[in-house]
Structure 1
Amino acid sequence: MVHQKLDISVYRESNETIVALTGEIDLQTASRLSGAVDAALAEDPVRVVLDMGGVTFCDSRGLGTLVVLSRAATRSRAVLVLANLGDFLQRLLSVSGIGDHFVIREHATEAEPGPEDRA
């Protein structure tokens, strides 16, 4: 079996850190994801956004890792946000019953509100 690796890119935008993922989140790659998010949390962001747009697979270890990372963010007084979830990941979170425990947004970065959006 050929195992696809997990590529992780981290960058900062205003008060949040974006962790862009490409590949598989599983038993072999979950610890790398945890390390990247732990390092991001050490920089004291308001939010850590996991850009899941390039994730092709996530097993039970991956789901468990997401839950642990969400709790770690809460302990660090930050919010873990899942973004760019494909149909597969949306179904997985729904079927597993844990989807409601995450902050989910459509895109990794939020657009600045325009004049028409400001109150």
Structure 2
Amino acid sequence: MTRAERDGWAVVTVTGEMDLISSPAVRQKVHDAVADGRRDVVLDLAGVRFCDSSGVGVLIGSRRLMRSCAGRLRVVLPAADAPPGQGAHVNRVLAALGVRRLFEVFPDLAAATDESAQPLSA
């Protein structure tokens, strides 16, 4: 997991799994960005191949945190029908739980950090 800056956005890139073990680190990266004064955060989840309920909890908690500080959260997720191994798992999990609509989802990092880009529909 890494944190970088791109076009004024703090970008947290997560790869592998978002589960009980790794989710606290993702949560901490988002909190650190806010503590550093960042109000525009992108969670790049294109490389996440597995997400459990603790990962979903971190996403919802991150959304709540960004809203509480008048910030913005954008999420990079491949389409739910993308080939296996291309990060579509999180998109399918969020859709199955009925919470996908809560997030501004973009197909890639370039779109997520482009002020003129529109999020994908749920």
Q: TM-score over 0.5 for the alignment?
A: yes
Q: Report the counterpart of residue 61 of structure 1 in structure 2.
A: 54
TM-score, normalising length: structure 2:
0.79
1:104 CA displacement: 0.6
Structure 2 residue 27 is the aligned partner of structure 1 residue 40: no
TM-score, normalising length: structure 1:
0.81
CA-atom RMSD in angstroms: 1.6
CA distance in structure 2 between the aligned counterparts of 1:17 and 1:105, rounded to whole angstroms: 15
In structure 2, stretches of 5+ residues that fail to align are: 79-86, 117-122
Please tell me the residue identity of whatever aligns with 1:71.
R
CA separation of 1:54 and 1:75: change in aligned 2, threshold 3 A: same
Counterpart of 1:28 in 2: which secondary structure? coil
Q: Report the counterpart of residue 107 of structure 1 in structure 2.
A: 108
Counterpart of 2:109 in 1: which secondary structure? coil
What are the within-5 Å matches in structure 2 for residues 4-43 of structure 1? 8-43=1-36
* Identical-residue share of aligned pairs (%): 28
Moved over 6 A (4+): none
In structure 1, stretches of 5+ residues that fail to align are: 1-7, 114-119
